[in-house]
């Protein structure tokens, strides 16, 4: 008799999982008949960062935020800057579970302890936070009770169900809009552009949103693509005021031989995007 499969509802991959199996993201699996976050509370990275590093240029500038990451991601970007944790299946972190595990209560308490150092809350970042949305939800409730902020740094490739659950508990987001071609999203990144666009539109209705596009030579550095991307952002309600960060690519992971994006390219595309958007920031310069 074939084992019963269940569909993970978190993202467009809709992984069909049997007992003991793990999804494409490497962080959700079928255990005891339920699909659960295997990375719940498992911390790979923890730091008090300037808010501008998220990057958020127009949300409490000059403040700090406690940044936390786990492991796993539902995309496969060949230029990933944090591939050591995003592409990990978590074994190295789970082996050290006793030291790595931090409850939502513990994380919220740590965020509060850091208030005298300018901390305004917690940013879920480094790997993709939405694949472990339950931990984000449970912590965000506690942060709100303490008057602290919840920030998501995400690829936005998540279902509307997850968006409806988390956005009411979220104060600000930086969302990667990695390119503006559907075929690039699906073939090179393993994602879905329309899903990301829907997530951005939903987030912009209720939260402070900033967007980031890593400009990769030969992939998304064409003027026509950046013009289309900026025009779509501007078409959203109050979209002209949504900040866009155009950041410079450096060789990483599976693209070690691709040259870094030229500074002049970033500056040229920044000027072009500013024809439609009020706040466009060159990054990694």
Q: How far is CA 94 from the centre of its chain?
A: 22
Structure token pair of residue 178: 């990695």
Classify burial at 221, counting beta carbons within 10 Å of its beta carbon; exposed 0-12, middle 13-18, buried 19 or more. buried
> Is 275:230 a contact under the CB 8 Å cutoff?
yes
Q: Cα separation of 214 and 217, whole Å?
A: 10
The pLDDT value recorded for residue 4 is: 86
pTM exceeding 0.95: yes
> Is 136:39 a contact under the CB 8 Å cutoff?
no
Q: Cα separation of 230 and 218, whole Å?
A: 19
Structure token pair of residue 6: 């269940």
Q: What's the N-to-C CA distance of the chain in angstroms?
A: 58
Residue holding tokens 């209720």? Answer: 206
Structure token pair of residue 278: 């009020």
Residue holding tokens 């500074």? Answer: 263
**In order along the chain (285 residues), what is the average pLDDT of each group of 10 residues?**
83 97 98 97 98 98 98 98 95 93 98 98 98 98 98 98 98 98 98 98 98 98 98 98 98 97 98 98 97
Output the DSSP codes for 81-137: TTHHHHT--SHHHHTTHHHHB--HHHHHHHHHHTGGGTEEEEEE-SS-GGGGHHHHH
β-bridge partners, 101: 42
Diameter of the chain measured on Cα atoms? 61
Q: 143: part of which helix (H) or strand (E)? A: helix 133-145
The pLDDT value recorded for residue 2 is: 55
Instruction: Kindly list the structural domains of the chain, giving each domain's residue range(s) and its CATH number in brackets, ordered by start.
Output: 6-283 (3.20.20.70)
> Is 251:199 a contact under the CB 8 Å cutoff?
no
DSSP 53: G
> Is 121:67 a contact under the CB 8 Å cutoff?
no
> Is 218:78 a contact under the CB 8 Å cutoff?
no
Output the DSSP codes for 257-283: TSPPPPHHHHHHHHHHHTTT-S-EEEE
């Amino acid at each position: 008799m074939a084992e019963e499969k269940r569909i993970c509802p978190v993202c467009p991959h809709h992984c069909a999982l049997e007992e003991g199996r793990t999804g494409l993201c490497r962080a959700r699996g079928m255990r005891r008949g339920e699909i659960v976050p295997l990375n719940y509370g498992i911390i790979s990275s923890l730091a008090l960062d300037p808010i501008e590093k998220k990057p958020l240029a127009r949300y409490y500038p000059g403040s700090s935020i406690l940044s936390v990451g786990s492991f796993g991601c539902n995309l496969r970007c060949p230029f990933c800057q944090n591939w050591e944790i995003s592409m990990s299946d978590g074994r190295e972190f789970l082996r050290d579970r006793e030291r790595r595990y931090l409850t939502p209560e513990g994380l919220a308490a740590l965020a509060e302890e850091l208030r005298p150092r300018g901390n305004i809350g917690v940013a879920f970042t480094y790997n993709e936070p939405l694949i472990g949305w339950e931990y984000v939800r449970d912590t965000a409730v506690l942060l709100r009770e303490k008057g602290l902020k919840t920030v998501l740094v995400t690829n936005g490739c998540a279902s509307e169900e997850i968006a409806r659950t988390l956005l009411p508990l979220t104060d600000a987001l930086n969302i990667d809009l990695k390119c503006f071609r559907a075929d690039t999203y699906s073939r090179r990144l393993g994602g879905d552009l329309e899903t990301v666009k829907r997530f951005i539109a939903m987030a912009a209705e209720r939260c402070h949103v900033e967007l980031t596009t890593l400009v990769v030579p030969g992939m998304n550095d064409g003027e026509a693509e950046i013009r289309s991307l900026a025009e779509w952002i501007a078409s959203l309600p109050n979209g002209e005021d949504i900040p866009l960060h155009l950041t410079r690519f450096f060789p990483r992971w599976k693209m070690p031989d691709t040259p870094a994006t030229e500074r002049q390219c970033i500056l040229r595309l920044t000027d072009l995007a500013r024809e439609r958007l009020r706040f466009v920031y060159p990054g990694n310069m």
